[in-house]
C-alpha cells in the first residue's frame, strides 16, 4: 500500500507506484485530501489499477478503514509531510490513511519531504525518533533542491531509492549471518595526473548486489571503484572501501575475501595498464601521447578462486559485446573454467546494453557450463536473481 500526503513531491509517487506495479506487486493508493490537490484521483486509479478513495465512509460494509491495514504486507508513505509525521507520532486517525496506519501490523516506511527548516525543527526530529522507536523505517530525506529555489536536507528521495529501501523491509533474511564482499564500478589506470585508461561501468549492478545482500541480512563489504556518491547511496549500511586502480581493487578484495563467505567480482577491471604513469601532464609537444606501452593487470578473480577457503563461494562477471547469445554463452563457459569460479554472470555490454543504463539482462553459468538462471529487468531485480542463484549453489 502507498500513502500519499499533501506535498509537491507527490508527483514523484506516481512513478513509485508504477515501479511497484512493474515489479509485480499489488498496490492500493491512499491519498489524503491535500494530496489530491497535487495529483488527482483518476491518476492514482489509472496507475495503481485499483479503486482509490480518501474517505472512511466508503465501503463501510467491508470496514475498509480497518481492512486495508489488516491486508497490507507493506505500507509506504511518500511523500511524508511534517504534518503527517506529527499525526503518525501522535496516533491520530482522522482520515483513511490514519486509520489504516493504526490498523496495520505490516512494516511501514516513510519518505519525508519538506523544507529544511521544517525537517530540522525539534518537533519533527522528536516525531521521527518516536516513529523509529516503534519500528517505522525512514527513507531519507535527501539533500538537494527544494520548492521555491531553496536547497538543503528535506528533498524526497527518488522513487527507485524508496522502492529499494521499502522492499528491504520485507526481504527474506536468507543471507543473515553471511559475510559478503562485492566489487563494483570501473577501474582507472593513470597515464598521467589528468588522464587514465578506464571503462564505462557506473557500478550500479554491483551496488544493487550489495544493497540486496544488506536487505537479506548479510554483513556486506563493498569495494567501490570510482562510483559516484549518488549511486553509492543505495548501499548505505555496507562497509565501503574506495578503490581507484586494478591494483587497489586487488588489494582490497584479497583482504576482504579472507573472512568472507561469498565473493562477487562485479567490477569492470582494466585488463591492461600503462607500463609507466607520467608524473606530469603529457603534452603534444613532447609527442608522448602517440604511443603508450601497456602491461597486463593482475587476474584478480582467478587469484581469489585459487586462494579460496573451505565453504567460500566465488562469482565472477563477464561483459560481452557479442550479439549472438550462443557465442556469449560459449565464451562465458570458457571463462568460468579458466577462472575457477562457482558461477559466472554474463551480460551483453555495448553502447545500448549493460553499462550506464538502468536495466540489465544476464545469464548465470554454473557447474558443467549449464545456464542455471537468467534474469532481465532493473539492476535490483537482476541482483535478486543472482543472489537466489548463489544461495541455490551454496545449498
Torsion angle (degrees, nearest 10) of CA 229, 11, 37, 34:
-50
- How many angstroms separate the first and last alpha carbons of the chain? 34
Does residue 16 contact residue 157 with C-beta atoms inside 8 Å?
A: no
- Of residues 199, 226, 347, 360, which has the active-site annotation? 199
Angle between helices 159-168 and 379-394 (to 10 degrees): 30
pTM: predicted TM-score of the whole model, two decimal places:
0.73
Torsion angle (degrees, nearest 10) of CA 46, 49, 53, 57:
150
Angle at 86 between CA 84 and CA 87, to 5 degrees: 65
pLDDT at 63: 54
Q: For residue 75, list its beta bridge partners.
A: 108
pLDDT at 385: 92
pLDDT at 45: 93
Euclidean distance between CA atoms 360 and 348, whole angstroms: 8
Q: Which domains, and CATH codes, for the chain? A: 2-168 (3.40.50.1950), 179-394 (3.40.50.10300)
What are the distances in angstroms from CA 177 to CA 58, 217, 277? 46, 7, 42
Euclidean distance between CA atoms 216 and 393, whole angstroms: 17
pLDDT at 152: 78
| Known catalytic residue at 199 | yes
Residues of the chain with pLDDT under 70: 56-65, 148, 350-356
pLDDT at 64: 62
pLDDT at 350: 63
Amino acid at each position: 500500500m502507498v500513502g500519499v500526503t499533501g506535498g509537491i513531491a507527490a508527483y514523484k509517487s506516481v512513478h513509485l507506484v508504477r515501479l511497484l506495479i512493474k515489479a509485480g506487486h499489488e498496490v492500493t493508493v491512499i491519498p489524503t485530501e491535500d494530496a489530491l490537490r497535487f495529483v488527482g484521483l483518476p491518476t492514482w486509479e489509472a496507475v495503481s489499477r485499483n479503486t482509490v478513495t480518501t474517505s472512511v465512509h466508503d465501503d463501510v460494509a467491508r470496514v475498509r478503514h480497518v481492512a486495508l491495514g489488516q491486508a497490507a504486507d507493506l505500507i509506504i508513505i511518500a511523500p511524508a509531510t511534517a504534518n503527517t509525521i506529527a499525526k503518525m507520532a501522535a496516533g491520530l486517525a482522522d482520515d483513511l490513511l490514519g486509520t489504516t496506519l493504526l490498523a496495520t501490523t505490516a512494516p511501514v516506511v516513510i519518505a519525508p519531504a519538506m523544507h529544511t527548516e521544517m525537517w530540522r525543527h525539534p518537533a519533527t526530529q522528536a516525531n521521527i525518533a518516536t516513529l523509529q522507536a516503534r519500528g517505522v523505517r525512514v527513507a531519507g530525506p535527501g539533500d538537494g533542491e527544494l520548492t521555491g529555489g531553496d536547497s538543503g536536507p528535506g528533498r524526497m528521495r527518488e522513487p527507485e531509492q524508496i522502492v529499494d529501501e521499502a522492499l528491504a523491509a520485507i526481504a527474506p533474511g536468507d543471507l543473515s549471518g553471511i559475510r559478503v564482499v562485492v566489487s563494483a564500478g570501473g577501474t582507472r589506470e593513470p597515464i598521467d595526473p589528468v588522464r587514465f585508461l578506464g571503462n564505462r561501468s557506473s557500478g550500479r549492478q554491483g551496488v544493487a548486489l550489495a544493497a540486496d545482500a544488506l536487505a537479506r541480512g548479510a554483513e556486506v563489504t563493498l569495494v567501490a571503484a570510482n562510483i559516484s556518491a549518488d549511486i553509492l547511496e543505495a548501499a548505505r549500511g555496507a562497509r565501503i572501501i574506495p578503490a581507484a586502480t586494478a591494483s587497489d581493487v586487488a588489494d582490497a578484495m584479497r583482504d576482504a575475501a579472507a573472512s568472507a563467505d561469498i565473493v562477487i567480482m562485479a567490477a569492470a577491471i582494466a585488463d591492461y595498464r600503462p607500463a609507466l604513469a607520467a608524473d606530469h601532464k603529457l603534452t603534444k609537444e613532447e609527442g608522448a601521447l602517440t604511443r603508450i606501452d601497456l602491461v597486463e593487470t593482475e587476474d584478480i578473480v582467478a587469484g581469489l578462486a585459487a586462494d579460496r577457503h573451505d565453504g567460500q563461494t566465488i562469482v565472477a562477471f563477464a561483459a560481452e559485446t557479442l550479439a549472438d547469445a550462443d557465442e556469449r554463452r560459449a565464451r562465458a563457459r570458457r571463462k568460468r573454467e579458466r577462472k575457477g569460479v562457482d558461477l559466472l554472470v554474463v551480460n551483453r555490454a555495448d553502447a545500448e546494453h549493460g553499462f550506464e543504463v538502468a536495466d540489465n539482462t544476464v545469464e548465470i553459468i554454473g557447474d558443467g557450463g549449464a545456464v542455471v538462471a537468467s534474469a532481465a529487468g532493473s539492476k535490483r531485480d537482476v541482483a535478486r536473481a543472482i543472489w537466489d542463484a548463489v544461495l541455490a549453489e551454496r545449498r
